[in-house]
Chains A and B, each alone.
Chain A
Amino acid sequence: MTVEFWIVQTFNGLSYGALLFLLASGLSLIFGVMRIVNLAHGSYFLLGGYIALSVIWRTSTFPLALLAGAVAIALVGIGMERLFLRRLAGQTLGQVLMTVGFALIFQDLALLIWGGDPYSLPLPSWLQGVVTAGALRFPKYRIFIMAVAVVIGALLWLALDRTRVGAMIRAAVDDAEMAQGVGIRVPTVSLGVFALGALLAALGGGIGGGFLGVYPGLDFEILPYAFVVIIVGGLGSLPGAMVGSLLVGLLDNFGKALFPELAYFTLFAPMALILALRPTGLFGRT
């Protein structure tokens, strides 16, 4: 265990956490506003990756690919929320089964369209290679992921904390009924938040495609990570999603590096600890 090991693994963990933040921040907001358990959120991540892949094959334009995936999935999210999920408000079991139904359909459609082979999103030349600092080498792409997460995180924070729409969302998170009572259109806010969540997940999937790859099964593999982030960070809280993502990213990475066979298990420990000490998560309120 050299110093280099710790630095490199910390760097890797932080970049994975940055990716998780893109996935989990939207899910957390959706939970906060709508109390919806969306098991198709991992599918948004996967489909975002696949669509980005198809676009990059045709156009070779990396930013366009990410954008196309994100926007397409945001539209899918809008459709799901308006046509199916809205009528299930308050029915937890119904939401779970409905969103799993969608997740299965998305999984099979993805298999039908893109086949069962794993792919990696081809990166533009400006994101390839490494940055060297002494003996240490940091892949540029992972630095890019962190930069994107920081920018998105800052934008989300500014939007939530400093704008009128943000205040509406916060009001809806705190108490949807009261928010509705004071004239906030909670259904519209919900729709917007749901679309934003889907967009961020798909963006995460596109970006993740350059480092996790895109493959069948990724949807259900990544989903629990998002859930653990929210459990650790607290429901509906943006700072919670930030801290939770970094914590989970780091722990997962060190777990994989130190105990490869028990990798998933290393997520269990922090979750157990948080639940024992603060059942509503680090930043959650009861």
Chain B
Amino acid sequence: MKDRRGIVIGLVAVIAAAGVAPLLSAYPLTLLTQAAIVAVLAMSLDVLLGYTGLPSLGHAAYFGVAAYAVGILATDYQRGFLVCLVAGLVLATLTAAVFGLLAIRATGTYFLMITLALGMVVWGLAFRWVSMTKGDNGIAGVPRPELGLPWSMGAPLPFFYVVLVAALVAWALLGLLVRSPFGLTLQGIRESDSRMRALGYNVWLHKYLAFVLSGAFAGFAGVFWAYYNGFVSPVDVQLVTSVETLLMVALGGPGTLAGPALGAALIVFLKNFVSVYTKRWLLILGAVYIGVILFAPRGVPGAFRRNR
């Protein structure tokens, strides 16, 4: 029932966004586009955090790897959308596949630390592998993709609709995933690792596949992020980005898909709204983190209250 309410609220939000989009000026439209992309990232993390009970602190890595793949291929090699999309997805999935081998062995606090450290490895590469990533300067001038549609993606409105459709596809696929027998097994693992093992499930494999799939969807978001922003830099893969995604999931309520997506939208709007009025937005964002935990702990459901 909670699921159905989430779907209804999510659909209403999507339809409302799609409806008002033609009436909006460029800036709010950009924010909506940003929210839709980040929502996919938040939902992908929720597969791990909310459904499997694995709090990853390095989720920006897969997002960033895909964004860098698009950035490099679209600028240096002038590749089209399809090549960039596939390359981004494959690289993000591979990264998650390698990191998962290391991280899934650990549980609880160790899992957090390991995913953080692995995420920082990607950040280190983005920052220091200057010949490939242009280091701190980032990759600028990523062109909007040409999709063979009659509308130019350079205009904010068509691009927003494409992103919205992509986000809906991701939402639908993730929805199918978490409701499938596989997804239900993940939730069983979240509740009791040992009981699922006793029932004969391959717990490691389920966790590992969840980890890799989650990374793949984060990569999907990363592909559109590179196109949206036109710019890829180490900021996209830094720890703060990973933690911000965690905040979105915590805010929206882990264990639903629509919740984290709405949490993502909320944080995107808040961030942009606050930074218009003050340069001290980090201070305010920090206070938001603390405030959420102190005053809205119900966004953080019981499954994560116990750390074993």
Contacts and interface: CB of A to CB of B under 8 A. Distances in A.
B286 A103 contact: yes
Main secondary structure of the interface of B (DSSP, over half): helix
Contacts of A97: 243, 246-247, 250, 289, 292-293
Interface stretch (B81-89, B160-168, B205-213, B297-305): B297-305
Contacts of A279: 105-106, 110
Contacts of A90: 305-307
Contact of B307 (A35, A111, A260): A35
B290 A264 contact: no
B102 A276 contact: yes
Contacts of B49: 93
A226 to B, nearest CB: 9
B289 A101 contact: yes
A227 B289 contact: no
B125 interface: yes
A98 interface: yes
A267 B289 contact: no
Given A262-B129, A264-B127, A271 B250 contact: no
B293 A94 contact: yes
B13 interface: no
Interface in A78-107: 84, 88, 90-94, 96-98, 100-105, 107
Nearest to A99: B289
A267 B283 contact: no
Given A37-B113, A93-B246, A227-B113, A101 B290 contact: yes
Contacts of A54: none
In this complex, the member of B109, B130, B246 whose beta carbon has the largest number of chain A beta carbons within 10 angstroms is: B109
Given A84-B290, A93-B49, A97-B243, A280 B128 contact: no
A108 B274 CA distance: 14
Given A90-B306, A92-B307, A105 B282 contact: yes
Interface in B103-145: 105-106, 108-110, 112-114, 116-118, 120-121, 123-125, 127-131
B112 A37 contact: yes
Provide the main secondary structure of the chain A interface: helix
A261 B128 contact: yes
A228 B130 CA distance: 24
B238 interface: yes
Contacts of A223: 239
B286 A108 contact: yes
B131 A261 contact: yes
Contacts of A70: none
A264 B110 contact: no
Contact of A264 (B120, B239, B297): B120
A157 interface: no
A243 interface: no
A264 B238 CA distance: 13
Given A90-B307, A275-B106, A105 B292 contact: no
Contacts of B113: 37, 227, 230-231
Chain A: interface size category: 35 or more
Contact of A275 (B114, B128, B285): B114
Given A92-B109, A235-B109, A105 B243 contact: no
Contacts of B123: 264
A109 B287 contact: no
B2 interface: no
B280 interface: yes
B188 interface: no
B288 interface: yes
B117 A267 contact: yes
A41 B114 CA distance: 16
A112 B279 CA distance: 10
Contacts of A39: 239, 243
A114 interface: no
B293 A228 contact: no
B243 A96 contact: yes
Contacts of A276: 102, 105
B80 to A, nearest CB: 29
Contacts of B8: none
A107 B55 CA distance: 24
Interface of B: 49, 55, 57, 102, 105-106, 108-110, 112-114, 116-118, 120-121, 123-125, 127-131, 238-240, 243, 246-247, 250, 254, 280, 282-283, 285-290, 292-294, 297, 300, 304-307
7 contacts: A31-B109, A90-B305, A90-B307, A98-B289, A101-B290, A275-B102, A275-B114
The 6 A-B residue pairs with the shortest CB-CB distance, nearest first, are A264-B124, A101-B289, A104-B286, A105-B286, A224-B120, A108-B282
Given A102-B290, A107-B282, A231-B117, 7 more contacts: A91-B304, A93-B304, A101-B288, A263-B128, A267-B124, A275-B106, A276-B105
